[in-house]
Amino acid sequence: MMIVGRHVIADLSGCPPELLLDEDWLNKTFSEALGRVGATVITLSSYKFPGEGGVTGLFLLSESHASYHTYPEYTYIAIDIFTCGSCDPEQALEFVSRQLKANVWECKSLRRQIPSSSAAWTPASSGTVCNL
């Protein structure tokens, strides 16, 4: 199978709520993290939910994408970074987690690859993961 990229999905908690509410700071921090690993941001779109609501950000990269969604009331942020080429999404995640002062985090790292020609898609049942 041919590997086309690396994908990290992370759940970070224990982050200061004021950071998770700061749309500009989050976008600058993610932009810096992505730049440090050689990713090229094509466009950024973000939205701050009203009041004490969180922030959602999406970075379209020439190498793929990165996104985040914050839940300041739980001191939690969900992060998704997928890159191809030489960019290392784990290093970008490491930088962001340090800046966010997260004290608990879980991360899944995946190799995205082209499936073999014998693989067939099967729809998932409710509440289950797709079986390939």
- For 14: left if phi > 0, alpha if psi spans -120 to 50, otherwise beta; the answer is left
Given 13, 65, 67, 69, which residue is catalytic? 69
- The answer to whether residue 64 is catalytic is yes
- The answer to whether residue 69 is catalytic is yes
Given 7, 15, 64, 87, which residue is catalytic? 64
Give me the amino acid identity at 24: D
- The answer to whether residue 65 is catalytic is no
Are 29 and 96 in contact by the 8 Å Cβ rule? The answer is yes
Give the CA diameter of the chain: 51
Given 46, 67, 84, 107, which residue is catalytic? 84
The residues annotated with a catalytic role in the active site are 64, 69, 84
